[in-house]
Amino acid sequence: MSTSSIFRSEQMTLCQLFLQPDAAYSSIAELGELSIVQFRDLNPNVNSFQRKFVNELRRCEEMERKIRFLESEIKKEEIPIVDTNENPDAPKPRELVDLEAMIDKLDYDLKQINTNSDALRKNFNELTELKFNLAMTQGFFQQVDPNGNGMFNDMTEEITDETQRMTSGGMKLGFVSGVISRERMNSFERMLWRVCRGNVFLKSAEIPQLIEDPTTGEKAHKIVFVVFFQGEQLKTRIQKICEGFRANIYPCPENGNERRELTMGLMTRLEDLNVVINQTEDHRQRILIETSRLIRLWKIKLIKIKSIYFTMNMFNNDIARKCFIAECWIPTSYLEQVQLALRKGSEISGNVQVSTILHQITTNEKPPTYHKLNKFTQGFQNLVDAYGVASYREINPMSFVLITFPFLFAVMFGDAGHGLIVTLFALWMVLKEDYLKDKGKNQEVWRIFFGGRYIILLMGIFSIYTGLIYNDVFSKSMNLFGSSWKVKFDDNILLKDGAVTLEPNPRPYSAAEHYVQMYSGNPYPIGLDPVWQISENKITFTNSAKMKFAIIIGIMQMSFGVFLSLGNHLYFKHYYAIFLEFIPQIIFLLSIFGYLIILIFYKWTTYLAEQATDAPSLLIHLINMMLMSYPTDDSKTPKSIVVFYNHQRIIQTILLIVAVICIPWLLIGKPIYIIVQRKKKTNSTELVHQESEASNDIEMHEQNEPHQEVDMSEVWVEQGIHTIEYFLGCISHTASYLRLWALSLAHAQLSEVLWTMVLRIGLSMGGIGLGGVALFMVFTTWSTLTVFILLLMEGLSAFLHALRLHWVEFQSKFYKGEGYPFVPFSFQSILEEAAAEN
């Protein structure tokens, strides 16, 4: 029994690993690189925070948090993160401490710098606001002065700096000046007016540029304002309002000279600050650039460490034997490699005295399903897995789907022109694979196309083939080898109205003096003769042919599926199922539908053109076979429905009876077999009981499948459903294959319509100037519609129908799909996932 084949999933072994605590870490790291071991969680009932290595995991998470912080700082400065495509090994546990210290230090440094620079920046921003405040209030005071509006009537000659000291009605005028953000200004003004009952005078001006807010550090539009008021009470109120609206109040000296001095001082301080800020920025930049070189490596290392500890959390800690016990699924053919990796792991950790022990255990648990795949087969396996992951070691239909899927697609998509475009597109994806791999990762539709590039390639190539068979290239036929038919009527006939019929055989024509051989005698070498393109009954002819093809292909594929189930029965040693399931199934299918195929070939080969009207109508014959009614052979009944070969009646009746016998055979065979088996077992249970007591020395962590007896009524119901499903399925599935014909007809017709309704208009326009331009424009429409409707839409529909034919009609004959996929512990896939998340 070969362990490895493309027809079945890999043979799996459940293994126990006894790992020395010192060696465990590096061994798991090796296995993570190897990516071929699936660990089982031995502590499913333990909460994640109660597990053994939760502290290590927390440390990793803490480091990750810091790295995220560093990364966001790097991104903020728009420094590129260096990606060397290097894949560092998982660091040893003791290196973790160094890494931690390094990251800690960077984190601390950066935070320190940030707080410093924040403080500096805040200071700077405040001073900037103050600067604007001073500069613009200056304007207010000067402006108020000469005009002397309302309140300031009596002080026209006074110079600006005395504004606030002037009196109006004996009261001292005070003012508050500050900066407020623009969007608050409106309601601020309104509230001021309300609270102070109109007894204030507000001047404001917008700062012409965006300035940074001292508290939030964001750029914002700001307004400088000055509020003039009378009395202390109003002052506190105004201050409260300013506070409520987060307006920053700045002192503004009453004297003009003082203001000027303050402005000068401010300027020098701002310049100083600028220098300091620039220096801090440079320092920060240097640190970040250094970090950006290493940060990717750190991230990979951390992810690796984390996944190792996460895996080790699934282990059992055997205190008595001082070791970790792990359970894992390993493909049997990889056992050697795993052994090697484990040995290497313990060597790395420096512990060579006691190596890791790998112990194979037998279990009745279902192993995971693992198929060895490459980039070519992967896409096809995905198609199969989308229906259901194969049960362990059952026949994997992927290798058959590989051929039949593109073929069935092409039967529906048969057009060499369209096929060529599809092929070229797929070929481009395949050849530029390495370049395209990393492109458009976020484009979901693109990823679907790219992931299925090999499927598309095969679909395209097969479409070219079927297109040649149908002789369809953009709905036109090609006369590659010269048609076997020559039209040799003379003008008298041709010029008359009405159609003429080409006859393969000599026949006297009324107008022709002698018959000219029109058929060369040899059929067209490949596919349909191009002469059909101009005939009126092309559709009738192709329909009849394509329908029969569809039935032949369908029944062949279904019987192949039934034979594959034989393969499964033999492999799993279900010999009873061969007699109770496989044989009645195949007999039923062949005795009715297999017979139909034979009739089709018989009809094709025996009836010549002159007997065309006498050829049997197979549909009627099949119905008659079912009804067992055979019309009497007299002159009134058409030749096509009376028996056409000797003993037809008796042969058909026998076939029908055999088919009917298959129904109860399949229905009651298996349940009766089960009843008999159970009777036998009850006699031998006592023996088993004695055995089981003896064998329970090693504690094993597996959910021993309770040997439950399925209720007999359930067996009956299940088998009943199964039987009905199969027999009705044979009929409906056969009919279902007619979609091959229907879609191919639809595709051919659509492309023909597109040609005649669109491109022909352009082609039939006269004149080089007008016709050329018109053709140019019409071609655009035609090609766009061809790509979007015929290639994409029709292609998608043919794809889905082909998929359905495989999932339902083909795989239902043999495929269970009740397995679960093998998910090995793999650094590579964990890293890819992490990359996808970002």
Q: Is 241 in the site for other proteins (CB under 8 A)?
A: yes
CB of 67 to other proteins, least distance (A): 11
**Which of 3, 112, 142, 187 lies at the binding interface for other proteins (CB under 8 A)?**
187
Q: Is 195 in the site for other proteins (CB under 8 A)?
A: yes
Cβ pair 133, 177 in contact under 8 A: yes
Q: Is 191 in the site for other proteins (CB under 8 A)?
A: yes
CA dihedral of residues 541, 547, 553, 556 (deg, nearest 10): -120
Nearer to other proteins, 310 or 814 (CB): 310
**Which of 184, 283, 366, 603 lies at the binding interface for other proteins (CB under 8 A)?**
184
Cβ pair 579, 782 in contact under 8 A: no
Q: Is 190 in the site for other proteins (CB under 8 A)?
A: yes
Task: Count the residues of the shown chain that bind other proteins, applying the rule CB under 8 A.
Answer: 24
CB of 838 to other proteins, least distance (A): 13
d(Cα 806, Cα 401) in Å, to the nearest integer? Answer: 8
d(Cα 121, Cα 127) in Å, to the nearest integer? Answer: 10
Q: Which H or E run includes 277?
A: helix 256-312
Nearer to other proteins, 61 or 718 (CB): 61
Nearer to other proteins, 192 or 550 (CB): 192
Nearer to other proteins, 144 or 247 (CB): 247
Q: Is 243 in the site for other proteins (CB under 8 A)?
A: yes
**Which of 105, 172, 182, 240 lies at the binding interface for other proteins (CB under 8 A)?**
240
Q: Which H or E run includes 327?
A: strand 323-331
d(Cα 372, Cα 377) in Å, to the nearest integer? Answer: 9
Q: Is 245 in the site for other proteins (CB under 8 A)?
A: yes
CB of 94 to other proteins, least distance (A): 23
Q: What is the largest CA-CA distance in the chain?
A: 136
Q: Which H or E run includes 721?
A: helix 712-736
DSSP code for 485: B
Cβ pair 502, 487 in contact under 8 A: yes
Task: List the interface residues with other proteins, window 285-314 (CB under 8 A).
Answer: none
Residue type, 132: F
Q: And the tokens for 205? A: 């001006």
Nearer to other proteins, 104 or 261 (CB): 104
Mapping DSSP to helix (H, G, I), strand (E, B) and coil, where does residue 182 land?
helix
Nearer to other proteins, 197 or 680 (CB): 197
Q: Which H or E run includes 677?
A: helix 648-694
Q: How far is CA 301 from the centre of its chain?
A: 28
Nearer to other proteins, 58 or 681 (CB): 58
CB of 79 to other proteins, least distance (A): 21
Residue type, 497: D
Can you give the length of the chain in residues? 838
Q: Can you spell out the DSSP letters for 93-130?
A: HHHHHHHHHHHHHHHHHHHHHHHHHHHHHHHHHHHHHH
Q: Is 194 in the site for other proteins (CB under 8 A)?
A: yes
Cβ pair 388, 28 in contact under 8 A: no
- Can you state the percent helix, strand and coil of the chain, rounding each to 5? 65, 10, 30
Nearer to other proteins, 134 or 192 (CB): 192
Nearer to other proteins, 130 or 185 (CB): 185
- List phi, psi (to 5°) of 383: -60, -45
Stretch of residues binding other proteins (CB under 8 A), selected from 190-198, 272-280, 442-450, 502-510: 190-198
Q: Is 92 in the site for other proteins (CB under 8 A)?
A: no
Stretch of residues binding other proteins (CB under 8 A), selected from 205-213, 236-244, 361-369, 446-454: 236-244
CB of 244 to other proteins, least distance (A): 3
Stretch of residues binding other proteins (CB under 8 A), selected from 90-98, 241-249, 379-387, 693-701: 241-249
Q: Going residue by residue from 57 to 76, which x/- string records binding to other proteins, judged by CB under 8 A?
A: -x--xx-xx--xx-------
Nearer to other proteins, 3 or 112 (CB): 112
Q: Going residue by residue from 16 to 55, which x/- string records binding to other proteins, judged by CB under 8 A?
A: -------------------------------xxx----x-
Q: And the tokens for 329? A: 């699924």
For residue 95, the tally of other CB atoms under 10 A from its CB is 12
Mapping DSSP to helix (H, G, I), strand (E, B) and coil, where does residue 214 land?
coil
**Which of 105, 182, 246, 375 lies at the binding interface for other proteins (CB under 8 A)?**
246
Nearer to other proteins, 8 or 59 (CB): 59
Query: Given the rule CB under 8 A, which residues bind other proteins?
Result: 47-49, 54, 58, 61-62, 64-65, 68-69, 184, 187, 190-191, 194-195, 237, 240-241, 243-246
